[in-house]
Structure 1
Amino acid sequence: MKYTVVGAGAMGLRYGILLQENAHVEVDYVEPTAASLKRIREQGNQVWKSRDHQNRHLLPVKIYSPEEYNGDPDVWIFFMKQMQLEDALTRLAPKFKEHQTALGAMNGMGHIEKLQKYFADERIIGGTAMIATILNDYGDVDFMGAEGAGSSAYANLTEQDSAVLDDVLVDFKAAHLNPTKSNNFMGTLLTKVFFNAVENSIATMFQSRMGELMAYDNFLEGIARPLINEAYDAAEAAGYQLLETREEMVQQVDYVSNVANPLHFPSMYQDFVKGRPTEVDYINGWIVELAKKNGLKATNHELVTNFVHLAEAMRKYRKPVDQTHDKV
Structure 2
Amino acid sequence: MKYTVVGAGAMGLRYGILLQENAGVPVDFVEPTQASLDKIHEQGDKVWKSRDHKDRHEIKINIFSPEEYEGNPDVWIFFMKQMQLQDTLDRLSPKFKPGQTALGAMNGMGHIEKLQKYFDDEHIIGGTAMIATVLNDYGDVDFMGGESMGSSVYANLTEKPSTVMDKIQEDFKAAHLNPSYTENFMGTLLTKVFFNAVENSIATMFQSRMGQLMAYDNFLEGIARPLINEAYDAAEAEGITLIETRDEMVKQVDYVSNIGNPLHFPSMYQDFVKGRPTEVDYINGWIADLADKNGVNAPNQHLVTNFVHLAESMREFTPPVNKLAPDYKGN
Normalized against structure 1, the TM-score is what?
0.99
Tell me the residue number matched to 2:157.
Answer: 157
Q: Give the SS at the match of 2:295.
A: coil
Question: Are residue 306 (structure 1) and residue 299 (structure 2) matched?
Answer: no
Would you say how many aligned residue pairs link Structure 1 and Structure 2? Answer: 328
What are the residue-to-residue correspondences of 1:216-235 with 2, within 5 Å? 216-235=216-235
Counterpart amino acid of residue 324 in structure 2 = T
What are the residue-to-residue correspondences of 1:38-117 with 2, within 5 Å? 38-117=38-117
Distance in 1 (CA, whole Å) between partners of 2:292 and 2:158 is: 26
Distance in 2 (CA, whole Å) between partners of 1:112 and 1:298 is: 24
Q: Give the SS at the match of 2:324.
A: coil
Per-residue CA deviations over 1:14-34 (Å, capped at 9, x if unaligned) read: 000000010000000000000
Q: Give the SS at the match of 1:237.
A: helix
Per-residue CA deviations over 1:157-185 (Å, capped at 9, x if unaligned) read: 00000000110000000000000000000
Counterpart amino acid of residue 177 in structure 2 = L
What are the residue-to-residue correspondences of 1:238-253 with 2, within 5 Å? 238-253=238-253
Distance in 2 (CA, whole Å) between partners of 1:319 and 1:10 is: 23
Per-residue CA deviations over 1:66-115 (Å, capped at 9, x if unaligned) read: 00001000000000000000000000000000110000000000000000
Unaligned runs of 5+ in 2: none
Q: Following TM superposition, by how much is the alpha carbon of 1:116 offset from its aligned partner in structure 2, in angstroms?
A: 0.2
Question: Are residue 194 (structure 1) and residue 179 (structure 2) matched?
Answer: no
Counterpart amino acid of residue 287 in structure 2 = I
Normalized against structure 2, the TM-score is what?
0.98
Q: Give the SS at the match of 2:188.
A: helix
Distance in 1 (CA, whole Å) between partners of 2:254 and 2:321 is: 26
Distance in 1 (CA, whole Å) between partners of 2:140 and 2:314 is: 28
Distance in 2 (CA, whole Å) between partners of 1:166 and 1:226 is: 37
Q: Give the SS at the match of 2:309.
A: helix
Per-residue CA deviations over 1:265-295 (Å, capped at 9, x if unaligned) read: 0000000000000000000000000001111
- Percent identical pairs in the alignment equals 78
Distance in 2 (CA, whole Å) between partners of 1:32 and 1:209 is: 29
Distance in 2 (CA, whole Å) between partners of 1:50 and 1:275 is: 24
Distance in 1 (CA, whole Å) between partners of 2:47 and 2:148 is: 20
Unaligned runs of 5+ in 1: none
Distance in 1 (CA, whole Å) between partners of 2:146 and 2:322 is: 23
Tell me the residue number matched to 2:296.
Answer: 296
Distance in 2 (CA, whole Å) between partners of 1:208 and 1:151 is: 23
Q: Following TM superposition, by how much is the alpha carbon of 1:319 offset from its aligned partner in structure 2, in angstroms?
A: 1.2
Distance in 2 (CA, whole Å) between partners of 1:170 and 1:213 is: 36
Q: Give the SS at the match of 1:93.
A: helix
Of 315-324 and 188-197, more deviation after overlay is shown by 315-324
Distance in 1 (CA, whole Å) between partners of 2:294 and 2:318 is: 39
Counterpart amino acid of residue 300 in structure 2 = N
Q: Following TM superposition, by how much is the alpha carbon of 1:149 offset from its aligned partner in structure 2, in angstroms?
A: 0.5
Q: Following TM superposition, by how much is the alpha carbon of 1:318 offset from its aligned partner in structure 2, in angstroms?
A: 1.7
Q: Give the SS at the match of 1:158.
A: coil
Counterpart amino acid of residue 302 in structure 2 = E
Counterpart amino acid of residue 23 in structure 2 = A
Tell me the residue number matched to 1:133.
Answer: 133
Q: Following TM superposition, by how much is the alpha carbon of 1:297 offset from its aligned partner in structure 2, in angstroms?
A: 2.1
